[in-house]
Amino acid sequence: MDAFFSAIEQRRHPELAGKPVVVGGDGDPTKRGVVSTASYEARKFGIHSAMPLRTAYHLCPDATFLPVDYDEYSRVSGEIKATLKEVTSLFEDVGIDEAFLDISSVDRASDEIAKEVKRRIMEAADLTCSVGIGPNKLLAKIASDLEKPDGLTIVTEKDIEARIWPLTARKLWGVGPKTEAYLKEMGVKTIGELADCLWRDWLRNLVSPMEVSPRGFKRH
């Protein structure tokens, strides 16, 4: 889903459409708390998830700050997930605003299925989503982030070198700020550089001589 929490707030408060909206804590940027979701209008000011609310207010004092309404977000999420399960029973829930669908057994073109998913979600919740299609979950996850908001991106195995390798390592699922900083210290900035590093380590271990000891194999 695209900026899920703030998108729901803009939907139920039409006067906030097209304006910077920040959802986090109890909605008071003078108190301690972090940003849960920022609208795309707010992100233009450098506001992002997990940022302290006070910092977000400093970046955009004219933004509308709202409290997290988790009950409402969960309700809308349930409606969307029910819609997705109508597309295929091979469904994996990975968060309040995200899911994987295995469409390998669906006898239709993948882009047609993606368009149907987007249409169904719009009809059910009046919200946009970005769909990524790939040969595995990791590539599908990366693809879903490449053309936000309201995107549809297909990544094939032939696209990996040209489209995936140049992306920053942060685009990898599970790589956060600390891991990204650690990789940069190693001189690794892109997914391709990380893959190359792992490949070289694998080759080094593969060809390294080994000896047999009473406790088993020992690598030099």
The residues carrying an active-site annotation are 98
* Distance, CA of 182 to CA of 201 (rounded, Å): 17
Do the beta carbons of residue 187 and residue 179 sit within 8 Å?
no
Return the closest-CA partner of residue 151 out of 40, 6, 9: 40
Which residue in the block uniquely carries the two structure tokens 């969307």?
80
Alpha carbon distances (Å) from 161 to 139, 191, 198, 213: 12, 10, 15, 42
Q: Which two tokens stand for residue 47?
A: 């506001």
Q: What DSSP character marks residue 105?
A: T
Which residue in the block uniquely carries the two structure tokens 């998830």?
49
What are phi and psi for residue 129, nearest 5 degrees? Answer: -140, 165
Q: Where are the alpha helices (DSSP H) in the chain?
A: 4-12, 40-43, 53-59, 70-85, 110-125, 137-144, 177-185, 191-207
Which residue in the block uniquely carries the two structure tokens 């995200």?
98
